[in-house]
Structure 1
Amino acid sequence: MSHTVLLVDDEARLADVLTVAIERLGYRVLSADSGEAALRLLESEPVDLLLTDLRMPGLSGRDLLRESKKRRPGLPVVVMTAYSSVKDAVEVIKEGAFDYIGKPFEIDDLETVLKNALLLSNALADNERLRKELVGRYRFDNLVGASPAFRKVIESITEVCESRANVLISGESGTGKEMVARAIHYNSPRRDHPFVAINCAAIPETLLESELFGHVKGAFTGAVVNRPGRFEQADRGTLFLDEIGDMPTSIQAKILRVLQERAFEPVGSVRTRAVDVRIVAASNKDLRQEVQLGNFREDLFYRLNVFPITLPPLRERVEDIPSLAHFFLEGFNSDMGKRIEGFSPAALAAMSGYGWPGNIRELQNCIERAVIVCKSEQIGEGDLPRYLSAPRPVANGTPAFPIDLDGELARIEQELIIAAVNRAEGIQVNAAALLGINERSLWHRIKKFGIQITKRAGGEPPLR
């Protein structure tokens, strides 16, 4: 689809010549012989760029520029004039014009100016579209669940959004801690500024300080340029410190100083930089216990724990599983171009009866797999992973015989591996330690069961 240029010039002959030339460049042209006529067209027609003469009777080009900025702030404006001067150029640029071109000019020069202005217009439109998508994605109605446990979470998010308070989110891996952090940011007064996330467990201690605070050129071997850190990138916005319980104590002291003084020094620099950042931290560890064990600074804990939010595991909000499953189904239908209408009663029963050690993330991956393999209008029990439907012990601890012993043992082994890798955030050596086996043995089991481990933004490894 071609862009539309609104050409404004009171010289009819020149306007006709320019219209033909601009149309030959591939643009649609709307013409107006006065500023007043141009404003009427701006109100009624889709316009991507305004090209106006500077000196016109009535509403001048400068007046038109000001009015267009009030009505269409993102519309690029290019000003033409036969009275080319540095002073005129500086003034119209200061008032918001994208560029300035002096008459007479070559069509090649005009083509370059129009192309650059429209590239900027496209970039601004894309940024606005992406911003609206992000804000929409983290609306409260996209935090799915009506269980009492999850309603408390929604109430907490609603209460804390408008404040500047630091937030500490606790919960098992896969419960949606980053989703809640983003919901807090995009529903707060900081929504128009950056949301920056960093996984404290995924970055080596030797690099973490530089990642957080940046560094100056020559600070260490390989520091060939100045590099801003996450605090600087998140200025006036929100910094999400995921898995802060795994942060080394040496870095914890530096975080505490930033929270106290709202200032920091990049690695290798003696210059202090002020910063305005809201901290939202998260951990799957009990930080109070970590404080007692000496693994986490007590003073930092109290600085972060101004407003605590605890996310319940999925097994404690079973009534939300059908709603979450339909929510994920709708998204995957859209992504994959499918029209699956829902789930069979047996499939819903299987999902509701499973323990979900990987929580919401595991459920999401389960639905994604089911959408891929489903060949009908409804996801059935057979489209779900087999371990969801394995026989479960009855109330007195006696299994429902007959059972497939090998299959049941394999199911238990697979569940434990998935839970361990989720808890270790995809770091296999840590998962092996949790299971009491070596890394090579874990690797063979992952390969045997066909468990897929992929890294996503924020370091969250979905398993299936």
Structure 2
Amino acid sequence: MTHNVLVVDDEPKLCDLLASALSQNGIAVFTAGNGLHALKVLESEDIDLIISDWRMPGMDGPQLLAEVKNRYPQVPVIVMTAYSTVKNAVQSMRNGAFDYIAKPFDIDELDITVSKALQFRDILKDNQRLRAELDEQAQIDSLIGDSPSFRSVLQAVDSVRESAATVLLSGESGTGKEMVARAIHKHGNRADKPFVAVNCAAIPEGLLESEMFGHRKGAFTGAVADRIGRFQQADKGTLFLDEIGEMPLALQAKILRALQERVIEPVGDTRERKVDVRVIAATNKNLLEAVANKEFREDLYYRLNVFPIPLPALRERVEDIAPLARHFAHTLGAAAGKRITGFSPQALQAMTRYSWPGNIRELQNCVERATIVASAGVIEEQDLPAYLFAAQTADSSAPLSEINGVPADLEAALAEVEKAYILAALQQSNGVQAAAAQLIGISERSFWYRLKKLGIHVDKIVR
């Protein structure tokens, strides 16, 4: 395993000396001239260990140590100083330093101290990985439901899990697309290999290519070292491309080539790298409509749509609401130190009447709130959030264009419903768009798109 070590010292010659010594042990070394520069490196690189001088201009060693313990508590720090008094050493250890070394130092002593710190870091990483695997298993276990529409999803997962076919998961936000992707990976023949998830809508467009394919040192401003991308991280495993419909057109061609030829080219490199990756993509957009509007490449769509799995909205599997709610109440109640045994009939009735525009994610958030509020082991109707009941009242009013129970203009009717939910979310979040998007279970980018499409001006809603 290659480790990344950050050396922080205002003496360039010492930084070079340490970089040379550590690189002989296969360690990738980053350098910084002071604490402020070090924090910038930490924001962009996955650092396993920091070796920091005690006295530096700007932000010194003790200040940097305090910031690291606050922002990156699992990254060990070794303090080095020419002013190595017992007082300084003891103070640094009390403040959270892993160890200290004195200048001038012996290279063998440095190697031993660095080796111990990196072993410590590896143990922490293993613990994180194990916790993540437990969380992942909990997510997979929440693939709960016996409705006909959800049984078809489970059958599709069972059919495709052992193959290398590209899967396209489609459905509204919050329907559990990532949970299904993890289930396909966990129960397939790549289960012991990495599962790497990328939210294509959450990464700035200028960084997306580097994030996907990696980059070479010096490829652009800020590229201070080589970095592997998500395709290489997922080699031999599964790459989950969430919200693939939000990917810029310029990058879609490169994704298509990676899928077709199984090769990638890091930014700033001319050499191709082979990758063996099983791709699962997900979208809440109508990709065929996006293709027709020239917003998504047709060839990439057909490359992704090898094995499509549509996920039903929660309102289309009402019979699954109760078992899902009980599952969330049990797991979330245990995490909060409460023993929740179930729901009252009135609470379950209120939950089944609600349309759940945020789907499973919204249901989970609702149950989490209810477990906190509940004063007994059974969640009652009054423990549920008020918006469940307000929405049921609003749902009773039909669009004016309705004829014999069927809207004459389906698109207009759907737009009115969508607009009502967005306005309600904005009202509840006091006009904070990021919070409103989270309330209804969609990404900020998707929320902004809907505001524009529906002609909603936020400054006119909440003042």
Secondary structure of the corresponding residue to residue 253 of structure 2: helix
The aligned counterpart of 1:345 is: 345
The answer as to 2:309 corresponding to 1:306 is no
Secondary structure of the corresponding residue to residue 368 of structure 1: helix
Tell me which amino acid in the other structure corresponds to 2:424.
Answer: Q
Normalised by the length of structure 1, the TM-score is 0.63
Shift of 1:430: 3.7
Q: Is the alpha carbon distance of 1:282 and 1:121 closer, same or farther for their aligned partners in structure 2, counting shifts above 3 Å? A: closer
Q: Is the alpha carbon distance of 1:378 and 1:435 closer, same or farther for their aligned partners in structure 2, counting shifts above 3 Å? A: farther
Tell me which amino acid in the other structure corresponds to 1:264.
Answer: I
The aligned counterpart of 1:12 is: none
Q: Is the alpha carbon distance of 1:335 and 1:431 closer, same or farther for their aligned partners in structure 2, counting shifts above 3 Å? A: farther
How far apart in 1 are the matches of 2:259 and 2:172?
26
How far apart in 1 are the matches of 2:256 and 2:395?
50
The answer as to 2:435 corresponding to 1:425 is no
* Cα deviation code 1:81-123 (max 9, x no counterpart): xxxxxxxxxxxxxxxxxxxxxxxxxxxxxx99x9899969956
The aligned counterpart of 1:392 is: 393
Contact kept? 1:423, 1:431, Cα under 8 Å: no
Secondary structure of the corresponding residue to residue 376 of structure 1: coil
The aligned counterpart of 2:198 is: 198
The aligned counterpart of 1:95 is: none
The answer as to 2:161 corresponding to 1:189 is no
Shift of 1:426: 3.0
How far apart in 2 are the matches of 1:118 and 1:220?
33
Equivalences, count: 324
Contact kept? 1:387, 1:411, Cα under 8 Å: no
The aligned counterpart of 2:276 is: 276
Q: Is the alpha carbon distance of 1:198 and 1:125 closer, same or farther for their aligned partners in structure 2, counting shifts above 3 Å? A: closer
The aligned counterpart of 2:154 is: 154
The aligned counterpart of 1:438 is: 457
Tell me which amino acid in the other structure corresponds to 1:388.
Answer: L
Tell me which amino acid in the other structure corresponds to 1:186.
Answer: K
The aligned counterpart of 1:414 is: 424
Shift of 1:436: 2.3
Secondary structure of the corresponding residue to residue 308 of structure 1: strand
Secondary structure of the corresponding residue to residue 392 of structure 1: helix
Contact kept? 1:421, 1:431, Cα under 8 Å: no
The answer as to 2:329 corresponding to 1:365 is no
How far apart in 2 are the matches of 1:397 and 1:437?
21
* Cα deviation code 1:145-183 (max 9, x no counterpart): 100000000000011100000000000001011111111
How far apart in 2 are the matches of 1:412 and 1:290?
22
Within-5 A mapping of 1:2-13: none
Shift of 1:424: 4.5
Structure 2 unaligned runs (5+)?
1-111, 400-418, 428-435
Q: Is the alpha carbon distance of 1:234 and 1:441 closer, same or farther for their aligned partners in structure 2, counting shifts above 3 Å? A: farther
How far apart in 1 are the matches of 2:420 and 2:135?
41
Q: Is the alpha carbon distance of 1:297 and 1:328 closer, same or farther for their aligned partners in structure 2, counting shifts above 3 Å? A: same
* Cα deviation code 1:331-381 (max 9, x no counterpart): 111110001211111110000001111111111111011111111221111
Normalised by the length of structure 2, the TM-score is 0.63
Tell me which amino acid in the other structure corresponds to 1:213.
Answer: F
How far apart in 1 are the matches of 2:250 and 2:357?
32
Contact kept? 2:214, 2:267, Cα under 8 Å: yes
Tell me which amino acid in the other structure corresponds to 2:452.
Answer: A
Q: Is the alpha carbon distance of 1:188 and 1:138 closer, same or farther for their aligned partners in structure 2, counting shifts above 3 Å? A: farther
How far apart in 1 are the matches of 2:444 and 2:116?
46
Q: Is the alpha carbon distance of 1:242 and 1:218 closer, same or farther for their aligned partners in structure 2, counting shifts above 3 Å? A: same
Shift of 1:243: 0.7
How far apart in 2 are the matches of 1:290 and 1:424?
18
The answer as to 2:298 corresponding to 1:288 is no
Contact kept? 1:199, 1:241, Cα under 8 Å: yes
* Cα deviation code 1:378-408 (max 9, x no counterpart): 111111111212353798969xxxxxxxxxx
Shift of 1:422: 3.8
* Cα deviation code 1:258-293 (max 9, x no counterpart): 111111110010011010001000000111121122
Q: Is the alpha carbon distance of 1:230 and 1:220 closer, same or farther for their aligned partners in structure 2, counting shifts above 3 Å? A: same
Within-5 A mapping of 1:444-455: 444=462
The aligned counterpart of 2:137 is: 136
The aligned counterpart of 1:243 is: 243
Contact kept? 2:425, 2:440, Cα under 8 Å: no
Shift of 1:432: 3.3
Percent identity between the aligned chains? 55
Structure 1 unaligned runs (5+)?
1-110, 399-408, 446-464
How far apart in 2 are the matches of 1:410 and 1:167?
33
How far apart in 1 are the matches of 2:421 and 2:212?
41
* Range 387-396 or range 253-262, more displaced: 387-396
Secondary structure of the corresponding residue to residue 168 of structure 1: strand
The aligned counterpart of 1:178 is: 178
Within-5 A mapping of 1:7-46: none
Tell me which amino acid in the other structure corresponds to 2:342.
Answer: G
Shift of 1:138: 5.0
Q: Is the alpha carbon distance of 1:289 and 1:126 closer, same or farther for their aligned partners in structure 2, counting shifts above 3 Å? A: same
Shift of 1:220: 1.1
